[in-house]
Structure 1
Amino acid sequence: MAQQLELSSTVNESQLGQRLDQALAELFPDYSRSRIKEWILADKVSVDGEIVNKPRVKMMGGEEIVVQAEIEDEKRWEAQDIPLNIVYEDDDILVINKPRDLVVHPGAGCPDGTVLNGLLYRYPEIAEVPRAGIVHRLDKDTTGLMVVAKNIPTQTRLVRALQKRKKFTREYEAIAIGTMTGGGTVEKAIGRHSTKRTHMAVQELGKPAITHYRVVEHFRAHTRLRLRLETGRTHQIRVHMAYLNHPLIGDQLYGGRPRPPRNAGDELIQTLRKFDRQALHAVMLRIEHPTTKEVMEWHAPVPDDMVHLTEVLRADTVEFGDLDY
């Protein structure tokens, strides 16, 4: 059975000159270019209040986009009995603490075994909701909190709040390579890497991306951080930290190879070598409940692998008593 879907967003100034279908594919990355083109041709897309049914129309930047379409149930994905750590649930939302090694949504190279497959198994009725209610994603090896909508009105409200950067706060714990002397904000657009198609990169004509960070703890040659996303681009924290020349420990995609400090002991060297994922955890999620309007907040304990890494780095710093500037 088809379900009604409403999406809204504003064309970025950086999308000047893009075709309508290209701009929409970037604004709504959860939907394929072919599906977006179908919506345009079927008079489902309005630009500044006027229906536009030509995919090639060029954008000037700043246009208000509204998509009112239909989407089929998520029947094409298989329901699978995949354990999900549900930390909160009511009639409209559920909050999951995602472990490492778990992809959120099926895609190229990962057709099943995802959070979405597990949601379809546990909540068969969620097949009526686009993307089985998934509002935002975490990378496969990033752990922590994510919210899922259990019905279409809830998903629409949450997506709108996320797009408008209102009443939707996500904070992360991370351990970066190098000694960072203070906090700050990275405001650099992010787009697909020009040659490495699995990578993202800071790109002048990419999507706007803003990451706030502060130092929580210094180690000899590493820094523990608390970060808050103002936008939610693919790999955003990882790309922004690499841009600052402080990639996350274990992030093989963006340069987080082991870099022990001088005279490091065997335990620290081995811990750094064996840490095989980006040291990144979604530790706090705060939203205004889309139905009750109550502000709700959840916290997920830092996982054991990052706790152990922190303890070993701390012990090394205590032993040597100085920072490796």
Structure 2
Amino acid sequence: MLKTTRKGNWMEIITQKKWEGKTIENIFRKEWEVPKKLTHLFRMENTVLVNGLRANWNHPLKNGDRVLIKLFEEVAPASTLDFFYDVQVLYEDDHVIVFNKPANMSTHPNDESDKGTLLHAAQFHVQSNGEKVTIRQVHRLDKDTTGAILFAKHALSGAILDRMLEKHEIKRTYLAIVDGHIKKKKATISEPIGRDRHHATRRRVSPSGQAAVTHYQVFKEEKGHSYVKCWLETGRTHQIRVHFSHIGHPLVGDRLYGGKPLFKRQALHAAKLEFTHPITGENIICYAPFIDQPPIFKGIDVYNI
């Protein structure tokens, strides 16, 4: 694990064996796989120092070299934030933050009038802790889906996490309750998903849609319902909801896709989030406790899924 220390607006790394003999260019382009444009900004804006001097990006690092990277430039938010919501934090450090998103809250605004989103609550959270940074979500959850969602606190961690998401290196485990008893207890649904031309918000399985892959495993059955764990290879809008509706087992409470209206929302929860820390390389595992009142998922220990 790479050890880092925050020094004001800078991150300090004392070079150890992991980086010895590598250049700053190697680290940005090979280790972290940072996009060319962002790498160029770090190079041109003099935001990487080695032993107090402007870094030579092509000079090999030595054991004990003191590398400073300016990551925490204070950025004033685009608008005044007046939205407060006490969202549960599952993990937080200088680089990333994981929230446990409640139901009936969009991940991000769809227009300027939409002020009550998780992004607003997240921005308020970091500002209330004295951090004047602009954060953004790495992935998203539907408005009425609860659970773990990952945010980046600066451009470098955001770029690295974007790449990890694209390469399926961020593992998300969902729990869902679906109508009926599924015949195949463990399987993969691989069906492309596209827009429904007859409904503004619906999606549907369509040959012309985008590739979508959902792995699932049934772990409990009761009262005409199946409890399933799901893992996504892709992150299409409404993917789990569309796929289970397509195989004849819509999510309970999901009125949009034919689920029985036993709950006020679809029974879908992002229960577990696993990823390699974008900076330190530490393995991070976050479990998201159930927060619905009254509860939807009963008799399930989220920490043992």
1:281 aligns with 2:263: no
Tell me which moved more, 189-198 or 170-179.
189-198
Match of 2:259 in 1: 256
User: Which among 169, 177, 180 is matched to residue 179 of structure 2?
Assistant: 177
Secondary structure at 2:215 match in 1: strand
User: Which among 269, 273, 278 is matched to residue 290 of structure 1?
Assistant: 278
- Please state how far the C-alpha of 1:291 moved relative to its aligned partner: 0.3
More helix by share: 1
What is the CA–CA distance in structure 1 between the aligned matches of 2:112 and 2:224, rounded to whole Å? Answer: 36
Match of 2:289 in 1: 301
User: Does the Cα contact within 8 Å between 1:179 and 1:220 map onto a contact in 2?
Assistant: no
Over residues 43-81 of structure 1, what are the superposed CA-to-partner deviations in whole Å (9 max), with x where a residue is unaligned? Answer: x9xxxxxxxxxxxxxxxxxxxxxxxxxxx9751574522
What is the CA–CA distance in structure 2 between the aligned matches of 1:73 and 1:152, rounded to whole Å? Answer: 15
User: Does the Cα contact within 8 Å between 2:90 and 2:287 map onto a contact in 1?
Assistant: no
TM-score by length of 1: 0.63
What is the CA–CA distance in structure 1 between the aligned matches of 2:109 and 2:270, rounded to whole Å? Answer: 21
Identity between Structure 1 and Structure 2 (%): 39
Match of 2:62 in 1: none
User: Does the Cα contact within 8 Å between 1:77 and 1:117 map onto a contact in 2?
Assistant: no
User: Which among 101, 107, 111 is matched to residue 110 of structure 2?
Assistant: 107
User: Which among 97, 102, 106 is matched to residue 100 of structure 2?
Assistant: 97
What is the CA–CA distance in structure 1 between the aligned matches of 2:237 and 2:131, rounded to whole Å? Answer: 25
- Please state how far the C-alpha of 1:127 moved relative to its aligned partner: 7.5
What is the CA–CA distance in structure 2 between the aligned matches of 1:211 and 1:73, rounded to whole Å? Answer: 39
Paired AA for residue 218 in structure 1: E
Secondary structure at 1:198 match in 2: coil
What is the CA–CA distance in structure 1 between the aligned matches of 2:141 and 2:223, rounded to whole Å? Answer: 29
User: Does the Cα contact within 8 Å between 1:170 and 1:286 map onto a contact in 2?
Assistant: yes
Q: Which runs of 5+ in 2 are unaligned?
A: 1-36, 38-74, 300-305
Instruction: Give matches, 1:1-325, under 5 Å.
Output: 75-76=78-79, 78-108=81-111, 111-124=114-127, 129=134, 132-166=135-169, 168-181=170-183, 182-258=185-261, 272=262, 275-304=263-292, 307=295, 310=298
Report how many residues are paired.
Answer: 223
User: Does the Cα contact within 8 Å between 2:107 and 2:117 map onto a contact in 1?
Assistant: yes
Secondary structure at 2:255 match in 1: coil
What is the CA–CA distance in structure 1 between the aligned matches of 2:164 and 2:228, rounded to whole Å? Answer: 26
- Please state how far the C-alpha of 1:301 moved relative to its aligned partner: 2.2
TM-score by length of 2: 0.67
Over residues 192-246 of structure 1, what are the superposed CA-to-partner deviations in whole Å (9 max), with x where a residue is unaligned? Answer: 1122121111121222111000001112411011111111111111011111110
What is the CA–CA distance in structure 2 between the aligned matches of 1:189 and 1:113, rounded to whole Å? Answer: 32
Task: Quote the RMSD (CA, aligned, Å).
Answer: 2.3
Over residues 135-157 of structure 1, what are the superposed CA-to-partner deviations in whole Å (9 max), with x where a residue is unaligned? Answer: 11111111100110000010111
Match of 2:25 in 1: none
Q: Extract structure 1 runs of 4+ deviating beyond 6 A.
A: none
Cα gap change, 1:306 to 1:297, in 2 (>3 Å): farther
Cα gap change, 1:109 to 1:217, in 2 (>3 Å): farther
